[in-house]
Structure 1
Amino acid sequence: MARAPRNRPHFHVEGGGQAEPYTSPRLVITGLPPARVRAAHAQKLERAVGAAVAEARRKLAARDDAVAEGEKGFYLEFEIPAAERAAVEGLENRPAAIELVAVRPVDIGDETVTATVFVPERSAEFFSRKITAYRDENTKTGRPKNEALVARIEDIRLAVVRSLFTDDLALFPRAGQPAWWEVWIRDGRIEAFRHVAQRLNVALKDHAISFPERDVVLALATEEVMARLVENTDAIAELRLAKDTPTLFLEMRPVEQADWAGDLVDRVDGPGALAPAVCILDSGANRAHPLIEPGLEAADQHAYDDSWGVGDSAFWNGHGTSMAGVALYGDLEAALSHGDDVELRHRLETVKILPPVGQNDPELYGAITELGVGKAEAYAPRRRRVFCLAVTSEVGLGRGRPSSWSAAIDQLCYGGGDRRRLMVLAAGNLRGDIEVDAYLDRNDLEEVESPAQAWNPLVVGAYTDKIAIAHPDYAGWEPVAPAGDLSPASRTSGIWERQWPIRPDVVFEGGNFAHDGANPASAIDDLQLITTHYRPHMRLFETFGDTSAAAALGSNLAAGVLAARPELWPETVRGLLVHSAEWTPAMRARFDAAGTQVQKMAMLRRYGWGVPDLNRAVWSATDDATLMVEDVLLPFRRDGSAIKTRNMNLHQLPWPRDELLALGDQDVELRMTLSYFVEPNPGERGWTRRHRYASHSLRFAVKRSLESLQQFRQRINRAAEAEEEGQIGVAAGGDDWVLGPIRDRGSIHSDIWRGSAAALADRDAIGVFPVSGWWKEKPGLQRWDRPARYALLVSVRAPGANIDIYTPIANQLVIPIPAA
């Protein structure tokens, strides 16, 4: 039976959620610490902390007052069993001004975790007193005093530069070797750090990135000079290696189809004055190309460094111009081959963030990205836009842990809470030869590149439908990827730790590779996209592929949604792309073969939510109606000195109940997507409860058909309590959801419920509720009273039912029904 046409706009509901008081209980840490011989353990730690403090006092006495700034103090490094890593929070003590500054990431097989704290000189005896009380005193229940902390400490030592280094130790600079360091500065101390660095003749980069508790700068120093910086200031919280200039996977071959360009130019209708833009952060673009010129004004080209110019360069193989062609037209093959007019409903902007030639000194690419975004916005401050970034780095990846660059991207999207931004990032590509026998295994093992660890942007991977090889030079060759499966160069988040987001979110066409059975695979022209060449006087078209092309297609589609619905929030547009995504038959077959939640998660981290579609993102049908809800809740409140959860929102949406009941046992679908942005708080401090990365998290739950509203509320509270105890996804468990507990990662959650229409008829309430984040756990930062806004997308689908579920919803909302 033919499906109903998509010719009706989605319903837009602003607000409508009923705020209800709601509290999830505070987490109480349970479980006994490791068994210890009390006196012997105390003696061991007393000797260790005594030696560390004595050495610290010697160094403080020798400190050069003409160089030093800030409160006198020192750093202690603690070893804690990896199984007890949550205990690192107990090392921090606000009244004593002791701050947990760095926790080294734990690798698989590590038995201990190392945590470093800053101790002011006035609190030098703090830990000695804790240990003495553990040795000599009991609580009212007869347990050793301070046992929960002291019994979980394996060792204590005076920290050194390596103690503050949270990247892979294999990256740590050799002795005497100058290196650029990312220096993570404690709150409010950046100027003091700059002064000390100047006195020690340490070169600093001009730009810094600022987060709620940290500023990040780049410093050129040897390990020995960095040690002097650590000893002469209380400013340093953490050290990482500054990352090299990002590299790009650019295996592009020319195509010979320039004869068609003139015909297409004649059919192009340029964008209107109010059209939204795709702003490409890349290597610039050549506006002289006849197909780029209609969509890119000269005034909309910018550069991070004005001396670079705004044009593209051979050094980057014209990557920015290739991105521009796909972002403006999609795959040019379709536009070139049909004879219809091409209406450009969005324009281009370009910001050159890569130097014209060579690789400069390492830079804070988070700061460069911020400045690039600022230049585009300063010129056209009221324009709606989607930012597109396909520049990635493979240096210093950490199984999903944020980098300074990815955190800066999250901060740009969050925009201080009042200026949100929509960004599309590439997941990054495999490098080197593509071996046919390693297809998918290598993709699953090589993780998404920086800055795509970010939570708030839409991260795009690549799939492919390109399998037809026609060129006689490649007779007998075979495509690597089957139609509808992952593009051979696309990276995934298969090896990421479970608390980090699903990456990619979605996938777009990225081309395919082919092989002759004997040699590594190649990206041949037949299996790539067609785009614009950066030297139009030599040739007009170029082949293009991988996640760069996929990200450009993603930004093209996002701009299409902005053009159709300019009133929507960035969170909503991002949500619509995920909500409209579907797995291809090849992907669905792999999901169907996944027998466990672990196997399903592996597939989700490979393909995301599938391939988006502009029609599904913008238009409903009579048998497939979508409601777009944009609302706000206040997640937290102050209660004395404590911060507690405040409100959940209960949505009782217009529901086609009678129509669903009439369908009885016929199968239907409910698709739900929740999209929101978080405020980041990076810094490698163990990612424990108090030091979470995200400001807050939200979850959705749907009332079950035999559940009262009161029972529904109680279930939500139980789910929130379980989340506080680390049981992710309890609210989504069971009940015929396709993904269930594995959907709740990052800041976008999407799932599909399948069942009978009669059962869906009574699922007429949706709860959106908060779970904890650093806004709640860190009251001193005064963020607890911030509102959290979100987009909730709800689709009711009755494919093949020959019933109108759109009109009953429209009647309840008093919305005119478009003519068929």
Structure 2
Amino acid sequence: MVEKSRQFPHIYVPEKGKNEAYKRPPQGGGSKSPPERDRKEHAQFLEQAIDRAIQEARQQIKSRNSNVAVGVPGFYLEFQLKAEETAALKSLENRQKKIELVAVSQLPEQQDMVRATVFVPESAANYFLKKIEEYRDEDTKKNKPKNEALIARLEGVDIGTVQSLFTDEPALFPQDNREIWWEVWLRKGKKEGFEQVATILDVRINSHTLSFPEREIVLAMCNVEAMAQIIKNSDAVAELRLAKDTPSFFLEMRTREQDEWVEDLAARLLEPGKHAVSICLLDSGVVQRHPLLSPGLAQNDMHTVEPSWGVNDSPQWQGHGTAMAGLCLYSDSLMDFLATSEPVKLLHRLESVKILPNSGGNKPELYGAITEQGISLPEIHEPTRRRVLCMAVTSETLSNHRGTPSSWSAAIDRLCFNDGDFRRLMVISAGNIRQDIPVTNYLDINDTEPIENPGQAWNPLVVGAYTEKINIIDPNYQGWQTVAPGGDLSPRSRTSVTWETQWPIRPDVVFEGGNMAWDGQNPGESINDLCLLTTHYRPNLRMFDRISDTSSATALASYMAARIMSEHPNYRPETVRALIVHSAEWTPAMQKHFNGASSKTSRCNLVRRYGYGVPDLGRALQSAKNDLTLIIEDEIQPFYLEVNSVKLKEMKLHQLPWPQEKLEELGEANVELKITLSYFIEPNPGERGWAYRHRYASHGLRFQVKGSLESDRDFRWRINQAVREEEEDNPVSNHSDNEKWFLGPKARDVGSIHSDVWYGTAVELAQKDAIAVYPVGGWWKEKKYLDRYEAISSYSLIVSIRVPEVDVDIYTPVYNLVSTVVPIDI
């Protein structure tokens, strides 16, 4: 590749995109028809089933304890239907009658069936029975059975139970009468009533609470029988999950350096400036007195969510927080700094928030609430400080293999989105594989071990690990081999290959996580030569520790985010996240796997293993003459209210400053166009996402690029058509340009960051001078009663043109077209 040195600032495009009203194309197709039924027979079957359920429900209501019961008397109905018939779910609710769909889950042992659990007030007990009778006896104007779209899709009805509300993996449901900690998802506004019933029934409740637009989440300890009593005597519970245990880590210590080296480096350290960016560590605490940490970590920047824990690191976590702190402050350059005699300027500072206890860990917590509390402490102390939030704390559960949001991951999404105006940049780890790593097929294990909780979150940067460490010098390991080849995935890094395809691609990127060594017989193991050097939590015993896996990768990613934020303090969090992803490339070892991928689906699976590759700080900060980057920051209002209906409002059309003449001169030369779109969603969690009205994300954004031979009019029409197709959950039309994108819309349009590369010729690229950013549906649109339909979404759009094979200046023509180039901020 011919690539000039990177010495030019990226080109910031000050002009906002042009607002384009969305014009819905003519309706086509429509939803799938309901299954054919013997009308009378099906109605009779459902009438009998629902009549039995209502009779049992009346007995339940009658048996409510007047000294315990709170809220509106009612009951739960469990409807069974085939997974392919979930179009009926939206018809199970009736807001006027207070009938609410609360949970949807797969039926145990039946992969093709789901159960939808609905809360029905006593006053509306006959609602569904009447629907069935109308289906049996009445016709529509089109001579179709009335209510056919709902009733014909139902396979059965039962009275709801505790298990009906349980949305974790069925295998996790307690099979005996022992007490467990439940994660209780409450209907909004019902928390006080739930607590009242729980107190009377002597059910223990944890003090931490999470709040979302339609749900409040608490922890309660009781057996199934007690939970059934709570459900019978209140209208509060919407969903039940199993509370998860305290996170754990694998971390070993290293000793090979001398105290004198530390004293020498500490004397050369220059403290960060007063307004320096901070990396805020949410971890096990930090030993601030370490000579290499105290210059970058003030004592009053040490916090804890529980005062009795103190702020220092503890043996319980093997000094994990202190090890993270060293890497966050020095990156992987600590050995270089030790070896030099020059002054070392610290470019950012640290903050520490202890979110893990000194001992124990059996008591489950709402880690989303603890994370929220932890973040608030430094923000209250230093409200104007720019910070990167770094958390390499994860939890392994049996229920995260699908990618479904948890209470913790949803809380992190909410913390990042915040109020939509003040947003936060958070970097979290993908989590580590805890079992022995087989050497011969370690990537197979990586692909089947899913990202850990809370890596399901959409808004943070989720980091996996790769490795370039392949040299084993220690004579004690003579003859040993490395498990991972240089440039491939780190042996313990987790992936999202097994996740359902609608959930985000994770990890986003990978950083150095070290390697493992193998003696030819036993499972691989970590050794000093294949880890990273960092600070030890017991400086009175030793100064240095080793760190590896996704913890080290997360620290390195946080360092890079802090560097970008330090250079450009006005960049939005979405922009910093986008620049990290946009700068990433797959290593040659990774690229070999991509070269063997025969389809976009197989490519997507590899992206779910490697993310978008290994980021490069130089590429994230500067352009080259033959590799220029444009940065656009804009806003869009996805929806608006027209009469009584929420509709799509607008798209943004960005006319780009384009080196058209220079590209046309290059003719058939190969070029690359890389685009990354980054935005934050507002979460609305709950296991009801089988129906479009219960989407997790507030909204989605997509991008499309004008075709080489496409007129502006045709381009606008294609965008409107794409919006309609996505709204109706139809396959995206196969535009001729799609084949030249590495991933294509189907693979890239998940989550809240979308990145892809177009490959073609310079003359083709010369005409691709416009990008449309447009909205697709979410709960801001579908849930009018939550009054979020006028909300604004900020987004960042990064666009790069690269001419990899030609020594050419495409930077200057674009620079001359743009009135403002953002300089490096001091």
Output the TM-score relative to the length of structure 2: 0.97
For residues 76 and 27 of structure 1, what CA distance do their matches in structure 2 show?
35
- Which secondary structure state, in structure 2, belongs to the residue aligned with residue 349 of structure 1? strand
Aligned to 2:444: 441
Aligned to 1:374: 376
- Which secondary structure state, in structure 2, belongs to the residue aligned with residue 278 of structure 1? strand
For residues 744 and 812 of structure 2, what CA distance do their matches in structure 1 show?
30
**1:814 corresponds to which of 786, 798, 819:** 819
Deviation of 1:377 (Å): 0.5
What letter corresponds to residue 492 of structure 1 in structure 2? T
- Which secondary structure state, in structure 1, belongs to the residue aligned with residue 390 of structure 2? strand
Deviation of 1:201 (Å): 1.9
Deviation of 1:38 (Å): 1.8
Q: Is 1:734 aligned to 2:734, yes or no?
A: no
Deviation of 1:747 (Å): 0.2
For residues 668 and 515 of structure 1, what CA distance do their matches in structure 2 show?
42
- Which secondary structure state, in structure 1, belongs to the residue aligned with residue 13 of structure 2? strand
For residues 343 and 717 of structure 2, what CA distance do their matches in structure 1 show?
57
Q: Tell me if structure 1 keeps the 8 A contact 2:12–2:822.
A: no
Deviation of 1:818 (Å): 8.5
For residues 74 and 289 of structure 1, what CA distance do their matches in structure 2 show?
59
Structure 1 residues 652-801: aligned runs within 5 Å: 652-727=655-730, 734-741=738-745, 742-801=747-806
Aligned to 1:13: 13
For residues 764 and 646 of structure 1, what CA distance do their matches in structure 2 show?
24
Deviation of 1:13 (Å): 2.7
Aligned to 1:554: 557
Q: Tell me if structure 1 keeps the 8 A contact 2:674–2:800.
A: yes
Q: Tell me if structure 2 keeps the 8 A contact 1:669–1:755.
A: yes
- Which secondary structure state, in structure 1, belongs to the residue aligned with residue 337 of structure 2? helix
Q: Tell me if structure 2 keeps the 8 A contact 1:665–1:757.
A: yes
Aligned to 1:611: 614
Structure 1 residues 187-202: aligned runs within 5 Å: 187-202=188-203
Aligned to 2:648: 645
For residues 249 and 87 of structure 1, what CA distance do their matches in structure 2 show?
46
- Which secondary structure state, in structure 2, belongs to the residue aligned with residue 228 of structure 1? helix
**2:350 corresponds to which of 348, 351, 357:** 348
**1:488 corresponds to which of 466, 486, 491:** 491
For residues 503 and 416 of structure 2, what CA distance do their matches in structure 1 show?
18
Aligned to 2:425: 422
For residues 728 and 634 of structure 1, what CA distance do their matches in structure 2 show?
25
Deviation of 1:215 (Å): 0.4
Q: Is 1:37 aligned to 2:38, yes or no?
A: yes
What letter corresponds to residue 274 of structure 1 in structure 2? H
Deviation of 1:661 (Å): 1.6
Deviation of 1:800 (Å): 4.6
**CA 1:126/1:356 → structure 2, altered by over 3 Å: closer, same or farther?**
same
Deviation of 1:35 (Å): 2.4
Among the aligned pairs, what percent are the same residue? 55
Deviation of 1:701 (Å): 0.6
- Which secondary structure state, in structure 1, belongs to the residue aligned with residue 419 of structure 2? helix
What letter corresponds to residue 234 of structure 2 in structure 1? T
Aligned to 1:578: 581
Q: Is 1:116 aligned to 2:117, yes or no?
A: yes
What letter corresponds to residue 532 of structure 2 in structure 1? L
Q: Tell me if structure 2 keeps the 8 A contact 1:594–1:600.
A: yes
Aligned to 1:467: 470
Gaps spanning 5+ residues in structure 2: where?
none
- Which secondary structure state, in structure 2, belongs to the residue aligned with residue 77 of structure 1? strand
Q: Tell me if structure 2 keeps the 8 A contact 1:175–1:224.
A: no
What letter corresponds to residue 554 of structure 2 in structure 1? A
Aligned to 2:532: 529
- Which secondary structure state, in structure 1, belongs to the residue aligned with residue 721 of structure 2? helix
Q: Tell me if structure 1 keeps the 8 A contact 2:10–2:822.
A: no
For residues 479 and 749 of structure 2, what CA distance do their matches in structure 1 show?
45
CA displacement 1:535-566 (0-9 Å, x = unmatched): 01111111110000100000000000000100
Gaps spanning 5+ residues in structure 1: where?
none
Aligned to 1:544: 547
What letter corresponds to residue 6 of structure 2 in structure 1? R
Stretches (4+) displaced over 3 A: 23-29, 105-109, 251-259, 337-341, 727-733, 815-819
Cα RMSD (Å): 1.8
For residues 303 and 640 of structure 2, what CA distance do their matches in structure 1 show?
44
Moved more, 453-462 or 770-779: 770-779
Aligned to 2:416: 413
Deviation of 1:353 (Å): 0.2
Deviation of 1:262 (Å): 2.5
Aligned to 2:367: 365
- Which secondary structure state, in structure 1, belongs to the residue aligned with residue 80 of structure 2? strand
Deviation of 1:274 (Å): 0.8
- Which secondary structure state, in structure 2, belongs to the residue aligned with residue 274 of structure 1? coil
Q: Tell me if structure 2 keeps the 8 A contact 1:406–1:451.
A: yes
Deviation of 1:32 (Å): 2.2
Q: Tell me if structure 1 keeps the 8 A contact 2:3–2:804.
A: yes
**CA 1:738/1:109 → structure 2, altered by over 3 Å: closer, same or farther?**
farther
What letter corresponds to residue 744 of structure 2 in structure 1? G
Q: Tell me if structure 1 keeps the 8 A contact 2:106–2:113.
A: no
Deviation of 1:718 (Å): 1.5
Aligned to 2:521: 518
- Which secondary structure state, in structure 2, belongs to the residue aligned with residue 649 of structure 1? strand
CA displacement 1:115-168 (0-9 Å, x = unmatched): 100001111001101111111122222222111111111110111111111111
Q: Tell me if structure 2 keeps the 8 A contact 1:275–1:346.
A: yes
Structure 1 residues 174-253: aligned runs within 5 Å: 174-253=175-254
For residues 358 and 116 of structure 2, what CA distance do their matches in structure 1 show?
42
For residues 618 and 191 of structure 2, what CA distance do their matches in structure 1 show?
49
Q: Is 1:287 aligned to 2:288, yes or no?
A: yes
For residues 816 and 684 of structure 1, what CA distance do their matches in structure 2 show?
46
For residues 37 and 251 of structure 2, what CA distance do their matches in structure 1 show?
57
Aligned to 1:161: 162
Deviation of 1:493 (Å): 0.1
Structure 1 residues 586-605: aligned runs within 5 Å: 586-605=589-608
- Which secondary structure state, in structure 2, belongs to the residue aligned with residue 295 of structure 1? coil
Moved more, 657-666 or 218-227: 657-666
Deviation of 1:442 (Å): 0.6
Q: Tell me if structure 1 keeps the 8 A contact 2:252–2:546.
A: no
Q: Tell me if structure 1 keeps the 8 A contact 2:600–2:742.
A: no
For residues 108 and 52 of structure 1, what CA distance do their matches in structure 2 show?
23
What letter corresponds to residue 738 of structure 2 in structure 1? G
**CA 1:27/1:279 → structure 2, altered by over 3 Å: closer, same or farther?**
farther
Deviation of 1:257 (Å): 4.9
Q: Tell me if structure 1 keeps the 8 A contact 2:86–2:690.
A: no
Q: Tell me if structure 1 keeps the 8 A contact 2:12–2:820.
A: no
- Which secondary structure state, in structure 1, belongs to the residue aligned with residue 694 of structure 2? coil
Deviation of 1:472 (Å): 0.7
Aligned to 1:46: 47
For residues 29 and 711 of structure 2, what CA distance do their matches in structure 1 show?
30
For residues 24 and 326 of structure 1, what CA distance do their matches in structure 2 show?
51
Count of aligned residue pairs for this structure pair? 819
What letter corresponds to residue 608 of structure 2 in structure 1? R
Moved more, 730-739 or 129-138: 730-739
Deviation of 1:687 (Å): 3.4
For residues 520 and 246 of structure 2, what CA distance do their matches in structure 1 show?
35
What letter corresponds to residue 804 of structure 1 in structure 2? D
Deviation of 1:255 (Å): 3.5
Moved more, 38-47 or 382-391: 38-47
CA displacement 1:680-725 (0-9 Å, x = unmatched): 0000013321001000000001111111111101111111122123
Deviation of 1:27 (Å): 9.2
For residues 108 and 567 of structure 1, what CA distance do their matches in structure 2 show?
53
Deviation of 1:2 (Å): 5.7
What letter corresponds to residue 478 of structure 1 in structure 2? Q
Q: Tell me if structure 1 keeps the 8 A contact 2:2–2:804.
A: no
- Which secondary structure state, in structure 1, belongs to the residue aligned with residue 389 of structure 2? strand
- Which secondary structure state, in structure 2, belongs to the residue aligned with residue 792 of structure 1? strand
